[in-house]
Amino acid sequence: MDILNSPWITICSDVLAILMISALLIRSSHIWKKEPGYRLLRGMLFSSMADALCNAVCYFLHDKRFAGAYTLAVISQTALEIAIVSILCHWLLFVDYQLYSSRDHLKRHYRPYLMPVPVFVLLHIVNAFTGILYTIDAGLRCERSIFYNVILIIEYCYVVISLAVILKYRKEHGSARFFSAMPMILPLVAAVAISELTPHSFVALGFAVGLVNIYLYLKRSRKYYEEETGFFNVAYLEYIKTLEEKGERGRGVMIRISSDGDNKAVSDILRQELPADAEVIFMGKGRYLMFAGNKNRQFANLVNVMLQDAVEEYNAGNPQAKIRIKADIISGNER
């Protein structure tokens, strides 16, 4: 058998993709399982399984005739195309959610992201009866029309948009978020290129590698999180100091927050009252530091007032609690 043309290359890459995505799902924490990201990853898994099944049918059962036609070949090829569209959509939605961590941001982009999908699906189904995109000839080769290539370019725009989202996020958050965009981008680009230039499909594998890289990025960032409170730990402060010494980040103002009382209740209050993406470090023994960039004493006073109001409300509802929080500004030298 000619190894380079063996259908087993595609099938092995699909199986590897399924195993990688399954591993990500299994290793997910129980908290993340409630998040939209987990459901999107699951959708990616099912799409990859469909992709694998269709590839297998295409390769091994393509010459079976039903009702005088290569019906199975046509159905499996159509289903394969739809599975690829599904993988592309799930990838884009997953990237959007994982990077921005915003349900509303995802919801507001659903419609523009998913609008072309019914059109693609319809076109592929229509193609099964009319052959406007591609035909399967007597030699069971797939002959593509120019319209197919146009549709393909539009489908792969999902990859381009996801790259734009990744790069935009990188630009906004810079290197302080342990982010390297290339390990996420290169596997996709390589997979798409190889799939188009060879008889084999590595699409599912390319996306799976991209997903693993996103997972590794999240895992790398998790070592800087303190489990009890969900805020950054002291190691993150050291990391920031390193960036400041290298000149990759400016030294800014910090707000010191001192608290008495149940750590979990205090961290819940802080999470509720402080800006959603504020960098807050738990220093231990009820002490927190918040990076406030170029903000001033007035901002620190505002933080203090907000926290006092929240504590007052909490203590009123939980008389046993007696939580106390105080915030004041410190300069970089006082850390």
Residues that bind other proteins (CB under 8 A): 100, 102-105, 108, 253, 273-276, 278, 292-299, 301-303, 305-306, 309, 331
Backbone φ and ψ of 324, nearest 5°: -130, 135
In the complex, least distance from residue 96 CB atom to other proteins, rounded to whole angstroms: 8
Nearer to other proteins, 226 or 273 (CB): 273
**Bridge partners of 290?**
255, 280
Min CB(103)–other proteins separation in Å: 6
Contact 272, 303 (CB under 8 A): no
Which one, of 34, 31, 155, 165, lies nearest residue 94 by Cα?
A: 165
Q: Kindly write down the DSSP assignment for every residue of 300-328, as one continuous string.
A: HHHHHHHHHHHHHHHHHH-TTT--EEEEE
Cβ closest to other proteins, residue 24 vs residue 323: 323
Q: C-beta of 276: minimal distance to other proteins in Å? A: 6
Output 33 or 168, the one with its CB closest to other proteins.
168
- Closest of 229, 231, 248, 246 to residue 291, by C-alpha: 231
Other CB atoms within a 10 A radius of the CB of residue 198 amount to 13
Q: Left, alpha or beta for 260 (phi > 0: left; psi -120 to 50: alpha)?
A: beta
Shortest distance (Å) from residue 273 CB to other proteins: 6
Smallest gap from Cβ 308 to other proteins, in A, equals 12
DSSP state of 30: T
Report the residue number, 54 or 253, with the smaller CB distance to other proteins: 253
CB of 294 to other proteins, least distance (A): 7
Q: Which is nearer to other proteins, 133 or 280 (CB)?
A: 280
Nearest to other proteins of 65, 108 (CB atom): 108
C-alpha to C-alpha distance for 284 and 282, rounded to whole angstroms: 6
Please state, in angstroms and rounded to a whole number, the distance separating the CA atoms of residues 35 and 105: 14
